[in-house]
Structure 1
Amino acid sequence: MQPFERHRRLRKTTAMRNLVREHHVRIEDLIYPLFIVEGEGIKEEVPSMPGVYHFSLDRLDEELQEVVSLGIQALLVFGVPADKDDCGSQAYAEDGVVQKAIRRIKEKHPELLVIADTCLCQYTDHGHCGVIGEGYVQNDPSLALLAQTAVSQAKAGADVIAPSNMMDGFVAAIRQALDEAGYADVPIMSYAVKYASSYYGPFRDAAHSAPQFGDRRTYQMDPANAREGLREAAADVAQGADFLMVKPALAYMDMVQRLRERFDLPLVVYNVSAEYSMVKAAAANGWIDEQQIVWETMVGFKRAGADLIITYHAKDVARWLQGGK
């Protein structure tokens, strides 16, 4: 018989497999999204996202306490305002829902790292991520409002600004505004490679941000394009981004690997709403082992090259890492 390698020697026992495991998921890798709404006494489950809730500020403390008890260290904060207008003015209002939420989180748990989603879509009455002119999302006028939003979030206490709008030049505009306002030490987590994806469907239930006309394909990326994503990321790096993100994650792991090979910045993936909801639906029907599926997905993100994972599964993953169910 010809000699052959015995790869199975390193798979024989649990201890052996643990010893030679190449990629690991840690609690410190997880970023947990929160949806804050205006009003009082509100804790309402998002219909299409089991286990994900809208919280009013007065109900936020119980969620924060659970997050802290699980060892999760970073939050991504989204706001759902009561009032919307054509320029998304509540996005950059001093007393806006996100600004108030950031201040409350930092007051109650200053150790938590607060990442502020910086976009206009939740705040505009048309649901687009920028200013509309002649039926089209205008790039440069939108940059001014996004920069104003970023500064207001940093002033409220945000540790990281995470612009998700996909306007050309958004990193440069926000970096300049933050620096000029005295927030040179606040980093930018750029949604660098963000596709116009159907995987965002349930999120629009959560953020109340569905476009009222058209779609977002003139500014979010075509799912068929990969080289374009590298150009987008390179532009953001040149403009001063501190983190790069790929969104969605699961169907775009090739892009995660491409960015990992090309750039040295911390790389983030967003395990988006439909990726979450599909797992929850299948698990509710008894078709899959939820824990094993989620765990395999998280490891897949790390294997592709992600450093950090934004995921609605964060609390469950943290429990499993602590040995709970």
Structure 2
Amino acid sequence: MSLVPGSVRPRRLRTTPALRRLVSEVRLHPADLVLPMFVKEGLSEPLPLSGMPGVVQHTLDSLLEAAREAVAAGVGGLMLFGIPEHKDPIGSQADDPQGILNRALALLHDHLGEDTVIMSDLCLDEFTSHGHCGVLDSAGAVDNDATLERYASMAVAQARAGAHVLGLSGMMDGQVAYCREALDAAGFTDTVIMGYTAKYASAFYGPFREAVDSELQGDRKTYQQDPANGREAMRELGLDLAEGADVVMVKPGLPYLDVLAEVARESIVPVWTYQVSGEYAMIEFAAAAGAIDRENAIEESLLSFKRAGTDAILTYWATEVAQRLQAEAAGTTAAGGAAAASGARR
């Protein structure tokens, strides 16, 4: 007599790799992945980051080489961050046409603009001497409305340099509408705005500070979201959609899967998530210590974002994972072709 009631045995659908693949509820595809990249002014060769094994600050030459590799692997897009040699209180290099980020955008647009989606981080923290995402007032607080003026100028400069998508990551109130108006007035009506709708004041950004040579003292809790709050993200979503965001973002990823799922349920535009530097570092360092299986942990983490409802994922593993997916697809196709040939011979 069976100890299982009736004939309900969910394990039937797990018995072979082929069957598990057939009934998978979500899948990864190379086009789902976006590669964040750092380019630093003044480097003569790529500079490895101690907190993010395998990630570097690029020269313009190495940036183009790595971008070509990502595009060849089928990665969906490239998100650029620029680190200038000179920083000042207003981040003047951010909208300078000869600034490192805008030069890098122009380079990739010239060589790869027809083959991929070129994205730019629109924020001041990489460019300011104080490390905040905006302009400071006389009391040392971030001045929201003065910062919007800088963002508008950056938006036009980045669109002019060749960015297809602008990632508004500064979490200033009204940033989407302000940049949309500036872009439209300058003739860049087709430039996409990705609003960082739910960007939390997270401890998981730690390694990123090294990646952009951050000068930040203190924190960004007065403008990034409180990790305790979920409903607040939905208020931000409503505002970004009303202001005309074309894509919305939840950042970080794994600690905020509940927020991601809620945003994905409610959003009428594509939803993306960012697997941030601390998430990347945790897996890399745990794998290096032998505590977890690296490739399986990477895949599982990315699948969790898809399961929660994201449409695309910014991840530092984008090229590696895309190449692995390509190889797996090629292997499956080859195996299927061999089986069909064998059947035909019978």
Query: If the length of structure 2 is used for normalisation, what is the TM-score?
Result: 0.91
- Code of the residue aligned with 2:190 in structure 1: it is D
- Distance in structure 2 (CA, Å) of the matches to 1:306 and 1:313: 17
2:254 aligns with 250
1:122-161 alpha-carbon deviations (Å, 9 max, x no partner): 1010000111111110000000001100110000010011
Q: What aligned pairs does 1:3-42 form with structure 2 within 5 A after superposition?
A: 3-42=6-45
Out of 61, 70, 79, the position equivalent to 1:67 is: 70
> Which residue identity is paired with 1:75?
L
| CA distance in structure 1 between the aligned counterparts of 2:140 and 2:146, rounded to whole angstroms | 14
CA 1:7/1:119 → structure 2, altered by over 3 Å: closer, same or farther? same
Corresponding position of 1:296: 300
Unaligned segments of structure 2, at least 5 residues: 329-346
Matches within 5 A, 1:276-287: 276-287=280-291
State the SS of the aligned residue for 1:191: strand
What do the CA deviations read for 1:13-71 (whole angstroms, capped 9, x no partner)? 11111111110010000000010111242201111000101111133232123212222
Matched residues in 2 for 1:269 and 1:40: separation?
Answer: 30
Structure 2 equivalent of residue 316 of structure 1? 320
- Whichever of the two has the greater Rg, that structure is 2
Q: Give 1:144's aligned amino acid.
A: E
Gaps of 5+ in 1: none
**In structure 2, what is the Cα distance between the partners aligned to 1:131 and 1:87?**
6
CA contact (8 A) 1:88 1:123 kept: yes
CA–CA separation in structure 1 for the residues paired with 2:16 and 2:69: 35
Aligned 8 A contact 1:249 1:271 in 2: yes
Alignment partners' CA distance in 1, 2:242 and 2:274: 22
Higher deviation after alignment, 190-199 or 281-290:
281-290
Amino acid at match of 1:70: A
Q: 1:260 offset after TM fit, Å? A: 1.1
Q: What's the secondary structure of 2:136's corresponding residue?
A: strand
The aligned runs of 1:201-216 (5 Å cut-off) are 201-212=206-217, 214-216=218-220
Poorly superposed stretches of 4+, deviation over 3 Å: none
Equivalent position SS for 1:51 = coil
Could you tell me whether the CA contact under 8 Å between 2:70 and 2:318 is conserved in 1?
A: no
Number of aligned residues: 323
Amino-acid identity (%): 46
Residue 287 of structure 1 deviates from its aligned partner by 1.4
After superposition, residues 81-120 of structure 1 pair within 5 angstroms as: 81-110=84-113, 111-120=115-124
State the SS of the aligned residue for 1:188: strand
* Amino acid aligned to 1:177: A
For the residue of structure 1 that corresponds to 2:142, the secondary structure is strand
Residue 258 of structure 2 corresponds to residue 228 of structure 1: no
- 1:41·1:58 contact (CA, 8 Å) conserved in 2? no
Give deviations 1:178-214, integer Å, cap 9, x for gaps: 00000011110111100000000000000112413x3
TM-score normalised by length of structure 1? 0.97
- 2:203 maps to 198
RMSD after superposition: 1.2
